[in-house]
A and B are shown apart, each in its own frame.
Chain A
Amino acid sequence: MIRDPLHTPLALALTLLALAVWWNADFFGHELLAEVAIFAIFAMSLDLMVGYAGMVSLGHAAFLAVGAYATAAMTVFLGWPASLAMLVAVVLSAGAAALVGLFAVRLSGVFFIMITLAIGQMFYAYFFKSRPFGGDNGMSGITRPDLGILGLDANDPVVFSAMMLLAALGVYLLLRVIVRSPFGHTLIAIHQNENRLRALGCPVQRYKLAVYVIAGTLGGLAGSLTAQHTGFISPDLAFWTVSGEVLIMVIVGGMGSLLGAASGAALVILMRHELSDENTWQLLGLPGVMSHYWQFVMGIFFVLVVLFAADGLYGRLTGLLMAARARLTPNRQREDGNVSR
């Protein structure tokens, strides 16, 4: 594998960018930043499965909902502190992912898409009908962790968005370690040629199950954080369009790149936010009523991205840089090529 020269500089640049935005943000800016950070975690967790192991799931939102509902149940019903609830929610998500994964990883290709969709919708249907969890009304009154020891208040948007950014950074570093480990390389190998790996005696199913559990666990973490962020949850968190949207985030940013997935999440959330704002349209000289139809624009954007830019922002950027470098130093590039072969 060719080492990715862009990775570390881009990671640093993105971190600095996030810090700069955090420093300059107003109240709503912090709310938006927290949302971006949470969905960056969610998208990165899906990217591990889709981009690295090649398992395309259309039911990842199920774990977002499990994490969120578990957090809500424990803070609202049992009165547990949010930090403990978050821990238990993550463990429960891991359990749910293990249970679902046991069945789902037996299938591949379009059948894997279908079964994850069915199971995801099963979670949606359950939460939608369940009376203890408030049915289609959802639940509210979810608390945030008590940071009194540090002299901070998590209900302050400035503090909370910083917490979410730290969480996203932590998840990124964790996934980076996973991806670069022998385990991660095996995932990429399974993606490239599953039969060969099987012939080599690799327990492919077990690897797939492990990825499914890791992705589900981190998805549950994102769910717990989103419950703490909004203080309110509803079955819509588990709806399959949420799974579709996060898949689009991963594609927009670039599959198989954690930074790509994170930036894809940021891009999609910011687009959604801007397109549903009247001022954006008026600024472009268009009628503000267009903001009611932002989904139309997003839909067309989704189609165009999948059709014409499926290697995502990150892939495009790397490609451009590689091409530029090849033009500047033609001889070295040829040597590199020989080495990598």
Chain B
Amino acid sequence: MNILDPTFFAIQFLNGLQLAALLFLLSIGLSVVFGLMNFVNLAHGTLYMLGAYLGLTAVNLFDSYWAALLLAPLGIALLGAVFYALLLKRLQKESPMKQVLVTFGLIFVGFDTVRMVWGALPQTIPAPDVFAGSVTVFGEIYPAYRLFIIGLGILVLLLLYFGLEKTRLGAVVRAGVDDPVMVSALGINVDLAFFAVFCLGCFLAGLAGVAAAPVFSLFPGMEMSVLILTLIVVVVGGPGSLWGAALGSLLIGMADTFGQVLFPEFASVTIYALMAVILLLRPHGLIPARVVR
């Protein structure tokens, strides 16, 4: 195994890109909620897991991966709406400690709910037929489905970019990140925009769950490692920032993939160290969402 071997490098690069695409889908929702509403949602990983399991049920019911890819995230968005109405409104005014601990409690509830409903054994969703095969990349066989994940990540990034830059909701969200009080003073319902964004973030977490399912197996506890990686992406990139989440996902995806291959002993440690260093030097992340005053 040599990093200089171009084929090996290309394959690892694609693996890193695929992880980055998943991390992007996960982190953008968490990031916007963190940056926009100052709310740390530790249960975001649980939404990812529930998305994957809802996808499993949808595949079993409709025998179609594409139905699962659409329906499961919608279910998670609905769950997010309920969560927003019941808890988030109440928690938004509370201290970060309370937010963290309430969502920490929800992790346990989600964990056991999955065990009750779907059982504790690892399960999997087969890749859709179109992408079930492999393609040849740089003379190596590479699963087509992983390329699909990369494409999905890029598509969502582009859609969100145009949504933020070209639509009215996007303008409200950008203004809301910058100065929520001023935006409400202008007579715009910021809370409604935040609600929409929160549900969209949940939708994307569910989407990530279904998209990841054919690559990683489903088991109660799958949310734990993902949650921490996602938090790292958010902090590294800059809470509330689209390009920050994209850059953070790319950095962490690559660092994790290449680190696991090249220095398996230290890879996981270096990612956490990277997060700690960035928190110290740039608490608002690499690409801050608002001008740091």
Interface residues of A, Cβ cutoff 8 Å to B: 50, 56, 58, 103, 106-107, 109-111, 113-115, 117-119, 121-122, 125-126, 128-131, 240-241, 244, 247-248, 251, 292-296, 298-303, 306-307, 310
Contacts and interface: CB of A to CB of B under 8 A. Distances in A.
Contacts of A110: 38, 40, 96, 100
Given A298-B105, A303-B87, 11 more contacts: A56-B97, A110-B100, A113-B97, A118-B235, A118-B276, A241-B107, A241-B224, A293-B116, A296-B109, A300-B109, A303-B105
Interface in B92-113: 95-98, 100-102, 104-113
Interface string B241-282: 000000000000000000000001110110111011001100
B232 interface: yes
B76 to A, nearest CB: 18
Given A122-B273, A299-B105, A302-B105, A56 B283 contact: no
B231 interface: yes
Nearest to B96: A110
Nearest to A125: B268
B116 A296 contact: yes
Determine chain B's interface SS by DSSP, over half rule. Answer: helix
B96 A109 contact: yes
B115 interface: yes
A306 B102 contact: yes
A292 B115 contact: yes
A251 B272 contact: no
Given A129-B269, A302-B105, A307-B90, A113 B280 contact: no
13 contacts: A56-B97, A58-B100, A111-B279, A113-B96, A118-B275, A118-B276, A122-B269, A129-B269, A131-B265, A248-B101, A251-B101, A293-B112, A302-B108
B228 interface: yes
Given A113-B97, A121-B272, A296-B113, A129 B265 contact: yes
A107 B277 CA distance: 12
A310 B265 contact: no
A107 B112 contact: no
Interface string B224-243: 10001001100100000000
B112 A122 contact: no
Interface residues of B, number: 41
A104 B231 CA distance: 17
Given A107-B279, A110-B96, A296-B109, A303 B272 contact: no
What 4 pairs across the A-B complex have the smallest Cβ distances? A299-B108, A302-B105, A296-B112, A125-B268
A176 to B, nearest CB: 24
B268 A128 contact: yes
Given A109-B96, A128-B268, A129-B265, A240 B228 contact: yes
Nearest to A130: B265
A103 B266 CA distance: 21
Contact of B231 (A50, A114, A244): A114
A252 to B, nearest CB: 10
Contacts of B276: 103, 115, 118-119, 122
A248 B107 CA distance: 14
Of B109, B111, B231, the most chain A CB neighbours within 10 A belong to B109
Contacts of A117: 228, 231
Given A122-B273, A126-B269, A296-B108, A303 B279 contact: no
A244 B101 contact: yes
B101 A125 contact: no
A303 B106 contact: yes
A118 B96 contact: no
B280 A244 contact: no
Nearest to A118: B275
